[in-house]
Each structure stands twice: as C-alpha cells, then as structure tokens.
Chains A and B, each alone.
Chain A
C-alpha cells in the first residue's frame, strides 16, 4: 500500500512537468494542443535510443527537450503561417509524430533495463551516500514493513519540477511572458502593442512541448523502457492534472496555478492508484477513472458553489421572516 502510493507520487511528480506544458498551451495560450500525445513519446524515444547507443543519460534527456521544442514549433507554424485550425494542427503533428517516433526507435519498444539512466545514476549516488538507508531506518522505526528501494527519484524530481515551476512563473512575468499571456487572452490587443503574436504562439508551443518531451524522456528512464504507445491519452492526463489541481488549489495567481498543476498531477496518480486497488477495477479501467475524475473536478466546484449560495439565501430569508415577525 505505502509502496504503491509512493510510486504514484514518483510518477505524479514526473508527469507534473508534462502537465505544466499542457497548462502553458491550454490555459496561457488558449491553444488546445494535441501534439502532446506524440511529443511525449518523442521524448521517450529520443532518450531511449541515445542511451542505448551509449550517450550519457543527461545529454540524451537534453536532446529530447530540444526535439520536443521543435515538434511544438512545427505545430505552431502550421497554425500561424499555414492558417490551420489549432486542434487540427495538433492532431496532424501528433499523427505525423507516431511514424517519426517509430523511425527514431526502429522498433515499437526499447528496454532500458541494464542501461545507465539518470535515475540509476541518482540511485547509486544516494546508495553510496547511505541516504536511503537513513530514511528507511526512520520509517521502519515507525512500524513500516516494506520500504521504497530509493528516495532519489522523488526528492530529485521534486527539486527539478519545482525548479521548472519557478522558472515558468518568472518567465510569465517577464516582458516576453506578459506578451505571451496576452496572446492567449486578447490577441488583437497585444498586436496593437507591437507584439508578434505568431512568433509568440510558435515559441509558446515550443516550450510547452519541450516540457512534455522532457517528461516523456524521464518517464521512459523511470519505467525502464520506451514504448511507441506510451503517449496515448497523455493530453487527457495533462488536462486532468490541470483541472483537478485548479479546482483543489485555486487559480488566484500564476504562481498558485502552476503549483496547483503539480498538486493536480500527484492527486491524479494517487487517486488512480487507489481506485485500481479495488477488486472490480483493472488496468483497462484507467481511462474511465480519468474521465470520471475530470468530470468530478469540473462539476464539483460548481455544485459546491450553488449549494453555498442556496444556504446563504435560505439563511437570509429566515432572518427576514424573523425580523418581520418581531416587527409585527
């Protein structure tokens, strides 16, 4: 139980990077970008093929980021220069990427089991420093029987993901970042303030898919393989994270919303993990659970709001009738 929740946290924090990318397009640019399903796999594919060919994992991961960026800019160019509708631009790119990803990998799955990945390297560092042992001693002291094999993934990914969050927060407050936000909010207005909205859309999509590819590359190293189909439904997972996070944490400011997205991603993983423990549900039901979660996150806040409003009005009515009675 503890182990599977721990794993959910680990993957949640990795997927949060992808969710931040989805947040950039869906919320900031107001561009429903479906490239994600493809660029996530591109990240995994590029990382896997480079690592198996002997490249250091960290460099392979960086190259994956660049490839994601390029994929995103192509979607952006399709939309801004080719005047293709945003949804269709993303779908076309996603479709093309499927074949491209297969070309990159040369086969539909690449195992990374005996390779040196960023995570095996981190694990080694933690082991030789004895860090995992110390934490686990503490936990067994608390009465836990089975403990995670390493904390390196969780701790380092927390640092990396929050670093990305803070960079994103900062970026969205810069002169270029403001113009990018306005492009999604009121394109005509920001063009009348001399911003090149086409360029901003293109780089915005580039950044977004760079993050998505990074998440894909890390996820492949985390699970120990890259698979051609690991991106299917990724966009919905990203959206689920954004929506769940927003409804739980709120959207008062940019900083809060990016935090919400990370929390949303973790909540999503944990809830799915817990749900799958139920006897009557199996892996095939993940999508159904996802859809239900998103629906819940979309509908619940409104229901709560209506309920609060109704009780508030009821109280007011009661108070008024009492007043009238007293007056009579």
Chain B
C-alpha cells in the first residue's frame, strides 16, 4: 500500500543548524494497517508525515503508494489519495466557511472540481448522515461558520472530512494533542471507530503512549530520524508503557527523556 525506501532528509545542510530529520527510513505499510508512531520531540515524526503527504520532498529515497512511485508528485495531487488531520484544530477546516461548505470541499477531494454548486440537496443529505455519526449535533448546524465551533468539534469535523471519501491513506499528526482530556478521548474513540469501519491504512503520531498502545495493530518508535522499534500483531497487544520505556533504554542505552510528551 505505502512504501518508503531509503528516505532521508537533512534540513539546513552544511550549516551549523544542520539537522538530519530522517535517516534512510525503510517503511512498508500493508493495506488496512493502523500504525501508531511515537518518539520524543524532534524525532522526525512530523517530517515523516510530510514526506508521505508530499508537503516535503526527500533528499534521497522514494515514496510509493500502491506500487506507484509518487516521490515527485506534488502535494495537491497526492492529496486525492491521502487524508490528513493536523495537530492544530484551526488547520484542518476553513473558518469563514460553513460546515456544509467545508464538507463539500472534502467531498471534491478525489474528483475534478467543476463550475457546479458545491452543495446540493443530495450531498446535503449525505453530509447530514455522516455528521450524525459524530454525535455532536453538527447535522443541525450545517450553515454555521466553522470558526464558531469549539476545538473538539472542529477536530471531529476535520477527521470526518479527512476520511469520508475513503482515501488510501490516513495521516494523523497528534490530532488530539490540543484538546482537553475528555474531548481528546472523544476524538480518539471516533478515530478508532472510523478506522475500524473503513479499514483505512493509517499512520497516527501521538505523544500519549497509552493511546499508542490502545489503538492500532502496529507501533513504531522513532528517534533521531530513525525508526528504532517496529512491533506488530500479538506482540503489540502484549506491550505496556513500562516495557516500551525499557525497550527504548535497551536500544539507545539512555533513558527516554520522560518529558510531558512521552508519558502524556
């Protein structure tokens, strides 16, 4: 489904600020895999996401989706097949536009856009039906400007917009990090439901180890631009936070900085 081969990227190469953000990453995702990604600040998680989405291009290496090499394909073209939710609840929606208009933009993701109305009766029904699955009552506020919604509501909407056209790949970058605990739990549940229902191939970055263990069927840990741990299946089910911390120590020979981030 998704394959990264020898993907490397260095920021500010040749200067004092040189940063090897990704070092020869090898990663293959099977259809329907749900991978959680953990790692300390600056490990390269967001950079990895940006490589896949096409927001950044690798210095060397290739990115393929469904056996097709997309390394040089610009972001907006890849976006037909990749859904994204960002950390910032402001980032995934258009605040001055209404809920239904936002959904209409998401609806056009994998189609050509024409000079026909973005919202029509049939689509409005579809949007309502989809919004109902969020249980937030948004289906009754189709004409409300998205800027008026709370962060949690926006993030739920972003998640819906990213997934309801069923792209090939779903990228979630700390999409619950900016929310209060109860809202974060809500979005986490929604994420689990959506992925289970649609069987989307998913990569989810989180700083919350428990969340990384609870969700998904595969877990990778990143550090200094490398994937240092890759656990799947039954082995992942058996993992605990303690075991993870211990594992990190064994591989890196140091303690994982137990900043807010890691234990979350």
Residues of A within 8 A of B (CB): 170-171, 173-179, 181-182, 185-186, 188-197
Residues of chain A within 8 A (CB-CB) of B75 are 191-192
**In the complex, what residue of chain B is closest to A173 when comparing beta carbons?**
B117
Residues of chain A within 8 A (CB-CB) of B118 are 173-175, 177-178
Determine the interface band of chain B, counting residues with CB < 8 A from chain A. 20 to 34
Pick from B28-36, B77-85, B228-236 the stretch touching chain A. B77-85
The answer to whether B95 and A185 have CB atoms under 8 Å apart is yes
A182-B113 Cα distance, complex, nearest whole Å: 13
The answer to whether B96 and A194 have CB atoms under 8 Å apart is no
A178-B93 Cα distance, complex, nearest whole Å: 12
A195-B83 Cα distance, complex, nearest whole Å: 13
Q: Which of B53, B76, B86, B106 has the most CB of A within 10 A?
A: B76
B238 interface residue per 8 A CB criterion = no
Residues of chain A within 8 A (CB-CB) of B101 are 178, 181
**In the complex, what residue of chain B is closest to A185 when comparing beta carbons?**
B94
The answer to whether A192 and B84 have CB atoms under 8 Å apart is yes
Residues of chain B within 8 A (CB-CB) of A190 are 94, 105
Residues of chain B within 8 A (CB-CB) of A192 are 53, 75, 79, 82-84, 92, 162
Residues of chain A within 8 A (CB-CB) of B108 are 175, 178-179, 193-194
If over half of B's interface residues share one DSSP class (helix, strand or loop), that class is named, otherwise mixed; here it is loop
A178-B86 Cα distance, complex, nearest whole Å: 21
A181-B97 Cα distance, complex, nearest whole Å: 8
A171-B118 Cα distance, complex, nearest whole Å: 10
**In the complex, what residue of chain A is closest to B101 when comparing beta carbons?**
A178
The answer to whether A178 and B104 have CB atoms under 8 Å apart is yes
The answer to whether A175 and B114 have CB atoms under 8 Å apart is yes
The answer to whether B109 and A194 have CB atoms under 8 Å apart is yes
A81-B39 Cα distance, complex, nearest whole Å: 36
Residues of chain B within 8 A (CB-CB) of A188 are 86, 91
The answer to whether B93 and A186 have CB atoms under 8 Å apart is yes
Residues of chain B within 8 A (CB-CB) of A193 are 79, 105-106, 108-109, 161
Pick the 6 closest A-B CB pairs, nearest first.
A194-B79, A175-B113, A185-B94, A178-B118, A182-B94, A194-B80
The answer to whether B94 and A191 have CB atoms under 8 Å apart is no
A53-B161 Cα distance, complex, nearest whole Å: 55
Residues of chain B within 8 A (CB-CB) of A171 are 115
A123-B113 Cα distance, complex, nearest whole Å: 42
**In the complex, what residue of chain B is closest to A200 when comparing beta carbons?**
B113
The answer to whether B97 and A185 have CB atoms under 8 Å apart is yes
A177-B115 Cα distance, complex, nearest whole Å: 8
**In the complex, what residue of chain A is closest to B82 when comparing beta carbons?**
A192
Q: Which of B76, B104, B106, B162 contacts A191 (CB 8 A)?
A: B76
A281-B109 Cα distance, complex, nearest whole Å: 56
Binary CB contact string for chain B from 180 to 215 against chain A (1 if under 8 A, 0 otherwise) = 000000000000000000000000000000000000
A173-B104 Cα distance, complex, nearest whole Å: 10
Residues of chain A within 8 A (CB-CB) of B110 are 194
**In the complex, what residue of chain A is closest to B75 when comparing beta carbons?**
A191
Q: Which of A170, A178, A196, A197 contacts B105 (CB 8 A)?
A: A178
Within the complex, what minimum Cβ distance (angstroms) separates B235 from chain A? Answer: 33
Residues of chain A within 8 A (CB-CB) of B79 are 191-194
A252-B90 Cα distance, complex, nearest whole Å: 21
28 A-B contact pairs sorted by A residue (CB < 8 Å)? A170-B117, A171-B115, A173-B118, A174-B114, A175-B116, A176-B114, A178-B104, A181-B97, A182-B94, A182-B105, A185-B96, A185-B97, A186-B90, A186-B91, A186-B93, A188-B86, A190-B105, A191-B79, A192-B84, A193-B79, A193-B106, A193-B108, A193-B161, A194-B76, A194-B77, A194-B108, A195-B76, A195-B113
The answer to whether B115 and A189 have CB atoms under 8 Å apart is no
Known contacts A186-B93, A191-B79; 13 additional CB pairs below 8 A are A171-B115, A174-B116, A175-B117, A175-B118, A177-B115, A178-B101, A178-B104, A178-B105, A178-B108, A181-B97, A186-B95, A190-B105, A192-B83
The answer to whether A186 and B76 have CB atoms under 8 Å apart is no
Residues of chain A within 8 A (CB-CB) of B93 are 186, 189
B119 interface residue per 8 A CB criterion = yes
**In the complex, what residue of chain B is closest to A177 when comparing beta carbons?**
B118
